[in-house]
Amino acid sequence: MHSRQRGKAVFDYSKICFVIMPFNKKSVGDRKVDFDWIYNHVFEPAIRKVVLPEGGTLQPRRTDKDFFAGDISLEMFHYIEYSRFALADISGLNVNVFYELGARHRVRMSGTVIFRQTGAPIPFDIQTIKAFPYEYEPEAQAEESRAFITQVLTESLRQNRIDSPIRIALSVQQQQGGNVEERLRAAENAIRSADFERAIKLYREASGDQPANPLVRMKLGTLLKDRGRWRDALEQFDAAVNAQPDYAEAWREKGIAENKIAWQGAPPEPVSSPAPGEDALRRAIKIDPDDFDAHASLGGALKRAHRLAEAGESYARSSEVSNGHPYPLLNELKLRAHAMGRFQLDPRHRRALLRADRDRSVQIAQDPPYDRPWCFFDLAEIRLYQGKVDESLDLIREGLKQSDADWQGETFLASLRLLEPRPTTCWVWRNALTFCDAGMSRVRFDTAGSPRTARQPSRANSRSPQPRLSS
């Protein structure tokens, strides 16, 4: 237990959650945000509701809220190093926040969680870091966010998983010796320049230097996956889980790759149980129950195996854990409509769709767009539910142009075809398939994977009456 004497009181860091966030009013995108209000009305009450495993509750601290004599910078570093937990809000991409977050990741292997406001942009360099979304207005959304933050912190304290990418990398290097940082930096620069083959070559050299380094294997596997080289990617994910058996993200990516490979080419007969990749995905969830991507990927594997009720449960869990991430949310809604025989939105889902709309719109506006082409496909589906037919088709077309391989557009189309065997369910879906088929005909990919635009059919011929949703 770390404690310090402050005056006559003993300050117990084992009960402290240090909040790393901007102070006062700062810009987030095109908005001015009062972060002091967010601390007082969202983070502080949420943290105080977290019950510690040994008893008592977590206590929030922020350096500007403590009134003590001495060097505030020194106190900040004590908080960073000794606090039981740290919550970082990266909304607005504040340089001080990233400095303190980096320092925390360097000194503590676990006990750090990252949040961002829904729709806040994420820079390329940290897109792989899990950042939970939250909202602070209106009050109903603030209340949901408080409950969600309490839940995330409670689960993180219970699991006590390693969450510092710096400590993971340094641990491997200390065990194996050598330094691959130069090659890794060069590979990241190659990715920024869209020189993917050079990045793959550099990652392979780094993995040759340190064959048991799971992070290098994951970086290489992820890049190969993004290029559609699934079997090569699976080889890297297998190496990552062999090197570090408790690496949840590697098990997740292994399961995704196994499922994709099983369905490449002519689809096999659906395997009911276990579905391809199911065992690896369930292993990932067992290690990290809060990995929304693992829950969503399991939903996809179960959906392809025609286990739709279980798939719906997995997507719903993913949507809950991620506080309404668009991908699991939209799949949850499609499977729910399939089961009910009609498409109907309750108030919770309507609020979630509004958040998803705002989130994906901000991501599309980034340069380059974040999470492409999926940000375009998700927003196209949301626009369809809103009855904005032309916007939906335009977004589908742009998503296809932003795709790196045919399978991405085909995956989106397959998702919309979920209800095709039941055409009377809702004519929203018949329109959706018409729109997507029209979009798929406009852009095709050559063998090198670069998009080329085909002659566009008449917009008048692709129009259908605008869909209406049940309330």
Residue 115 within a domain = yes
Q: What is the pLDDT of residue 398?
A: 92
Residue 147 within a domain = yes
Q: What is the pLDDT of residue 462?
A: 30
Q: Find out whether 4 and 83 touch, Cβ atoms under 8 Å.
A: no
The answer to whether the peptide bond before residue 211 is cis (omega within 30 degrees of 0) is no
Residue 392 within a domain = no
Residue 178 within a domain = no
Report how far Cα 352 is from the mean position of its chain's Cα atoms: 16
Q: What is the pLDDT of residue 466?
A: 32
Residue 33 within a domain = yes
List the CATH number of the domain containing 52.
3.40.50.10140
- Rounded Cα–Cα distance for residues 279 and 295 (Å): 12
Q: What is the pLDDT of residue 456?
A: 32
Residue 43 within a domain = yes
- Rounded Cα–Cα distance for residues 166 and 175 (Å): 14
Domain extent at residue 47 = 3-163
Q: What is the pLDDT of residue 8?
A: 39
Report how far Cα 392 is from the mean position of its chain's Cα atoms: 23
Residue 74 within a domain = yes
Per-10-residue mean pLDDT of the chain, 471 residues long, equals: 46 87 87 92 95 88 62 73 92 89 86 87 64 89 93 87 68 58 82 88 88 89 91 96 92 95 70 87 93 93 91 93 87 86 81 87 82 91 85 89 83 75 48 55 39 32 32 33
Q: What is the pLDDT of residue 279?
A: 96
Structure tokens belonging to residue 113 = 């969680």
Q: What's the structural domain count of the chain?
A: 1
Residue 143 within a domain = yes
Strands 59-61 and 31-34: unpaired
Q: What is the pLDDT of residue 423?
A: 44
Q: What is the pLDDT of residue 173?
A: 58
Structure tokens belonging to residue 411 = 């995956």
Q: To which residue do tokens 């209000």 refer?
A: 37
Q: What is the pLDDT of residue 436?
A: 54
